[in-house]
Every structure is written in C-alpha cells, then in structure tokens.
Amino acid sequence: MKIVVLDGYTENPGDLSWDALKEFGELVVYDRTPVDNDEEIISRIGDAEVVYTNKTPINKHVIDTCKNMKMISLLATGYNVVDYQYAKEKGIPVTNVPTYGTASVGQFAMALLLEICHHIGHHNETVHEGKWQNHEDWCYWDYPLIELDNKTMGIIGFGKIGQTTGKLAKAMGMHVLAYDSYPNETGKAIAEYVSLDELLEKSDVIALHCPLFPETEGIINKENIAKMKDGVIILNNARGPLVVEQDLADALNSGKVYAAGLDVVSTEPIKGDNPLLKAKNCIITPHISWAPKESRQRIMDCAYENLKAYVEGTPQNVVNK
C-alpha cells in the first residue's frame, strides 16, 4: 500500500517521527504542497491508497482523477478542505483527529488574555533596551495593567476546549458565563449558562470556542459588539470567520473594544490588507494554539490509529459516514 502525506511540515517540522506509518506500506512525505494547483496535488497523490492532508485541498476533480485513493485522513480536526460529501459518494472514508489540542488551546486563550492584561513581552523588551536602568522612577508600566479576579468571562461555545478555558478562568477568580446550544452537567459545574445577549451584555472578556457553522459565522459583528460592555476584551483562537474583521477593527479603534487577542483570521496566512493589522490593541499570532509538541504527538498517534483501523476494515473517526 502506498501512503502519501501532502503537507507534513507544520505537524512535524522534525521533532516527531513518521516511522509508525511505514508499518503499513510505502510512505512518501511532502513538507508542503501548493494549495492552488490541482495538477500538482494529483501528481503527488499518484496511485496512493491513503492520503494525509492538513490544509492541502482535495476536491472533486482530485478525487475523480486519483482513482486508487481509498481513504483521506486529516492531520487536524477540521475537514472543510476535503469535499467529504463527494468522497462519501465515491465510497471513500474521510477521517480526522477529533481531540488532541484541548489543553493547549485553552492554555493559549489564557496566554492571549494575560498578555493583554500585562503586556509582558513589551515590558521585557523595554527592560532589555535599557529603559528601566535609565528610568527616573523605580518602576514603570506603559499600558494599563488589569486584574482578572472578580471579572466576568463569557465563553461562546462550551465544549471541551471552552470548558478548559472556563476552568482556567475560574481558577483565576473570574465568574464564567457560557453560551452553547447543548448545555451539559459538566459545563454547569464550571459556568452559568446564559443566552447570547446576556453573555454579550455582562462579560468583561469574551472568548470564542465555537465551531464555524453558518449560524456562528460573523457572530462578532457590529450589532453584537454594540451590546457589549465598553472596554470589553475579545479572544479568538477558534476560527477566523467567526469575526467580521472590519467591525472588530472599527470597535478597537474607537475604544468600544479595549483589546483583542487573536490566533486566527479569516484568510490564513494573513493578508497585508487585513484591517486588524493596523487596529489598536490587537495581538495577532500565527494560528499556533494547537502546536505544542505534546499536541502534535497526539495528532501523530491518532493518524497511526486511523490508518490501523482502516487496514483492519473498521475505519474510525470517519466524518462522512
């Protein structure tokens, strides 16, 4: 059996091993594959039976041309880069990695928030540049410093990741509100479930941890921002299109939103004309919440288990049943 990994570098830049997949056949790993070149994607897949992809698209044309392809496996949770419905019509299971970064994504959300509250990176740089040793006062701060104790965090999307962030916020003395279509007992032990409007009105910090669905796309927009407290902080390390970026930029520049911490944007890599690049008090990181080695190892482990299950005739984590 031939196995191809189309874009393995972000999953494994060299600190992990693909060797476990070789147990099942010939393995070819490409670091990167052009995402806008169907013919190159087709050429690289060739006669492979199993194809792994992260962000390289596999569309109807690719599926029709690569006739030996029998399984498509995502090195991620999201699977929108694959025409999974058409793959289903062709009898090709599409598998994903459903849970791997819960701890790291929740941790990163709090890291964004703490950076906004204390600007640790900035103040470290000023010290190394000599500002402290030459300052007339014994200490200084260039931004307002924010204490989180007794403030309210509202979390939109309260699944495993949202609940992880909620636990961390609660441990820091915050009151946690949650909005989710499916409240559960585990969540009730962490947060108070409320309507979206109540969450928007009462929260000092709003964190997005919901999937990207038609009903959540653009959920942070000028109408909903108008319902928020003046000086609210917004965090998004879920999906970029949850935010109407021009609306958020306008709110940051006007001061309605005090700050935003974002690990995702609508188009990735970010484009130079994204209005958030020039917005006030906007921290943007390059979609790395998922990327600690521990999380990536869990992806690798699940990639192996997905292939093993397929070889044994009982595919698992199939998203297009």
Region 31-55: mean pLDDT is 98
In this prediction, residues 26-41 reach a mean pLDDT of: 97
| Mean pLDDT of all residues in 104-121 | 98
Average the pLDDT over 40-66 and give the result. 98
pLDDT at 147 (0 to 100): 98
Q: What is the pLDDT of residue 143?
A: 95
- Helix or strand (DSSP H, E) at 226: helix 222-226
Helix (H, G, I), strand (E, B) or coil at 8: coil
Q: Based on the domain organization, do 132 and 203 belong to the same domain?
A: yes
Report the CATH number at residue 52: 3.40.50.720
Are residues 121 and 263 part of one domain? yes
pLDDT in tens, 116-142: 999 999 999 999 999 999 999 999 999
Q: Does residue 152 belong to any structural domain of this protein?
A: yes
Q: Is residue 46 part of a domain?
A: yes
- Which positions ≥6 away from 293 have C-beta within 8 Å? 15, 16
Considering the domain architecture, whether residues 61 and 110 belong to the same structural domain is answered as no
Q: Report if residue 318 sits inside a domain.
A: no
pLDDT at residue 164, rounded to an integer: 98
Mean per-residue pLDDT over the chain, rounded = 98
User: Which pLDDT belongs to residue 44?
Assistant: 98
Same domain membership, residue 264 and residue 136: yes
In a domain, 319, yes or no: no
Average of per-residue pLDDT across 279-307 = 98
What residues make up the domain containing 95? Answer: 2-100+293-311
Is 82 found in the same domain as 118? no
Among all residues, which ones are annotated catalytic?
Answer: 239, 268, 287
Residue % of the chain over a pLDDT of 90: 99
Q: Could you tell me which residues come within 8 angstroms of residue 69 by beta carbon, excluding any fewer than 6 positions away?
A: 45, 48, 49, 50, 51, 63, 92
- Residue 224: per-residue pLDDT: 98
Question: Based on the structure, what is the number of domains in the chain?
Answer: 2
pLDDT, average across residues 29-33: 98
Residue 202 within any structural domain of the chain = yes
Residue 139 placed within a domain: yes
**Helices (H), strands (E): how many in the chain?**
11, 12
Give the confidence band of 200 by pLDDT, cuts at 50, 70, 90.
very high
DSSP for 150-212, please give it: T-EEEEE--SHHHHHHHHHHHHTT-EEEEE-SS--HHHHTT-EE--HHHHHHH-SEEEE----
Residue 25 has what pLDDT?
97
Q: Give pTM, 2 decimals.
A: 0.93
Question: pLDDT at position 97, please?
Answer: 97
Query: Is there a single domain that holds both residue 65 and residue 181?
Result: no
Predicted pLDDT of residue 57: 98
